[in-house]
Chain A
């Protein structure tokens, strides 16, 4: 099955090999097809916005890439090679880092413990090197959120924005090649949202591929090179943001119409 003929007239924005290809991914939970034959791809240095209503299947699709769910069928290729992602550790080995909508922080431990969770720094004696981890955390947080001071407190005591920056710090600290951001600005104020936008541009310039997931088109449109829209578990279509208008994308999200500038997917409504 390695030579699947790509009948799509190639949406690729860039030359070269895609960083991520998810092909014909399907997963069902108790008879409900949460993701039903979706194919998307991502190129290095590219931001792809994944849009759709709540319950459209965006988060589920992305959790498959992050290793949280195993798909029923379909194929994931990283740098052109078939990837076996059975759990979150596998995903991290492929350089896939995820900022979850829920942030996935352990509330009862501090920022450093969360940042290094599962990848702790150790002393030569095999004990946790908390001081080194705190030092690294101070450095990363200094870049992301210079006002952050609560290094010793459980993250339960942090504000929404501070918690978000801890989650972002965790994703970017380990040299991610592929970054998944699920509603990254949901908990943020305008100023922090602008900071995240700035960060995304910076990471993009470093050649990192980013999936940006949102139900709000305004969060995504200006930052994304391309958008892929999902509805009822299926792909409505993909388009370069330069080829479509916000209103057209809104039509994709709400009605499932694929506009002329987009490549329609299986979920597009046919008139």
Chain B
């Protein structure tokens, strides 16, 4: 087909005089996303330098991935909220109350009913938490969409209400978790999948990347659309796989400390060889949960009607309404989804702490919003990506973790994080003006 996406006549894919911009153009990569990856790399390198080489260690990267999980999960929902020109200030409090609900439900009802470490306990705890989060979100969404109260106010109220409710659920007590399966969601040595399973996950991920690319290409061939040059497809798949393999190498390079490894070997009945045991952590469960949430949310935003409507409403609410979209229902669903994701975040952070506390999730709303915004979600609505927000969560966590390694005091950490947030959004504003 002589049809091309540009107005010019078709150009053979292997042109010698290819500039950098046309190279990226042919790859069809989001330039902003690439910029963010570059920024993250820069932050990591600078911190590694400033913190005397303690930042870019498998141990720290692994910790970083676990610490980012909860915020990353919630940031995917915040993208949709902000894309629709709303805001949710209540996610930290929803996290608090759903964490408390899950802990109380598990400790007081499920474990007594099913016995210790029954698989049903974990499933039911999660189900109860997610249902509670979705209901709370739906209530917010209902008030915003159908009663017409601005989201800022509704969720500001929610911030206070659900924090208070979290206190009320257990009268301010800290509730320890009773189910060991549930604790796996928090990561740690037992909450990781080990070297072998990490490689299995990596292989599956690589195959999935290749299959998705091939499928997209087949689809376009079916309708005789202009295709990406073959080399570009190969480069994209190779880059994706390289990233997966690199991540796997890093998490597998983080090994159990010798004492823990010995105890693990004893428990598993493995004889310790003379040169010592090397047991890798591999991917942590909360990281896999976050990645799964990211993939599902990306699917929802790009491949489903619901996601398309969210973006159309964010781009032009009036046009969406005139096109016959039930904008109120979509608004309600977005807030409900946000609530459910806050509950997943609560499961991760509760499991990490081994208990639900009153202050859990305090200020998380700000980190989640910051992650989404640093990740390129525009507060004007209509644009943002799930991957960008998750990367934004990683950027935020990197800043904090790096400053901890540099032994910066908490107040100064906050000053830096706040300044970086404003700076990042300013850069983004400049970028949008210049290139759009």
Q: Are B4 and A118 in contact, CB atoms less than 8 angstroms apart? A: no
Contacting A100 at CB < 8 Å: which of B322, B324, B383?
Answer: B322
Q: Are A108 and B304 in contact, CB atoms less than 8 angstroms apart? A: no
User: Chain A interface mostly helix, strand, loop or mixed?
Assistant: loop
Q: In chain A, what residue has the closest Cβ to B299? A: A127
Within 8 A of B (CB), among A52-96: 66, 68, 87-89, 92
Instruction: Kindly state the separation between the CA atoms of A181 and B383 in the bound complex, as whole angstroms.
Output: 30
Q: A-B pairs with the 5 shortest C-beta distances? A: A108-B315, A106-B315, A108-B382, A89-B324, A104-B319
- B313 contacts which chain A residues (CB < 8 A)? 106
Q: Are A151 and B322 in contact, CB atoms less than 8 angstroms apart? A: no
Q: Are A109 and B312 in contact, CB atoms less than 8 angstroms apart? A: yes
Q: Are B319 and A131 in contact, CB atoms less than 8 angstroms apart? A: no
Q: Does A194 sit at the interface, judged by CB under 8 A?
A: no
Q: Are B305 and A128 in contact, CB atoms less than 8 angstroms apart? A: yes
Q: Does B282 sit at the interface, judged by CB under 8 A?
A: no
**Which of B5, B312, B320 has most A Cβ within 10 Å?**
B312
Instruction: Kindly state the separation between the CA atoms of A87 and B5 in the bound complex, as whole angstroms.
Output: 36
Q: In chain B, what residue has the closest Cβ to A93? A: B324
Instruction: Kindly state the separation between the CA atoms of A139 and B436 in the bound complex, as whole angstroms.
Output: 28
Within 8 A of A (CB), among B315-351: 315-316, 318-325
Q: Does A117 sit at the interface, judged by CB under 8 A?
A: yes
Query: Chain B's nearest CB lies how many Å from the CB of A193?
Result: 22
- A87 contacts which chain B residues (CB < 8 A)? 324
Q: Does B433 sit at the interface, judged by CB under 8 A?
A: no
- A135 contacts which chain B residues (CB < 8 A)? 223, 225
How many A residues are at the interface, by size bracket? 35 or more
- B382 contacts which chain A residues (CB < 8 A)? 106-108
- A41 contacts which chain B residues (CB < 8 A)? none
Within 8 A of A (CB), among B19-63: none
Instruction: Kindly state the separation between the CA atoms of A94 and B321 in the bound complex, as whole angstroms.
Output: 17
Q: Are B220 and A131 in contact, CB atoms less than 8 angstroms apart? A: yes
- A246 contacts which chain B residues (CB < 8 A)? none
Q: Does B129 sit at the interface, judged by CB under 8 A?
A: no
Q: In chain B, what residue has the closest Cβ to A155? A: B315
User: Do A107 and B324 contact each other (CB < 8 Å), given the known contacts A122-B305, A127-B303?
Assistant: no
Q: Does B388 sit at the interface, judged by CB under 8 A?
A: no
Contacting A104 at CB < 8 Å: which of B5, B6, B316?
Answer: B316
Query: Chain B's nearest CB lies how many Å from the CB of A159?
Result: 12
- A131 contacts which chain B residues (CB < 8 A)? 219-220, 222-223, 225
Contacting B318 at CB < 8 Å: which of A104, A109, A118, A132?
Answer: A104
Q: Does B158 sit at the interface, judged by CB under 8 A?
A: no
Instruction: Kindly state the separation between the CA atoms of A68 and B324 in the bound complex, as whole angstroms.
Output: 9
Given contacts A88-B324, A117-B323, 15 further A-B contacts (CB under 8 A): A88-B321, A98-B322, A104-B319, A107-B382, A108-B315, A108-B383, A109-B312, A126-B304, A127-B303, A128-B305, A134-B225, A135-B223, A147-B7, A149-B6, A149-B7
Q: Are A88 and B311 in contact, CB atoms less than 8 angstroms apart? A: no
Q: Does B308 sit at the interface, judged by CB under 8 A?
A: yes
Q: Does B314 sit at the interface, judged by CB under 8 A?
A: yes
Q: Does A33 sit at the interface, judged by CB under 8 A?
A: no
Q: In chain B, what residue has the closest Cβ to A128? A: B303
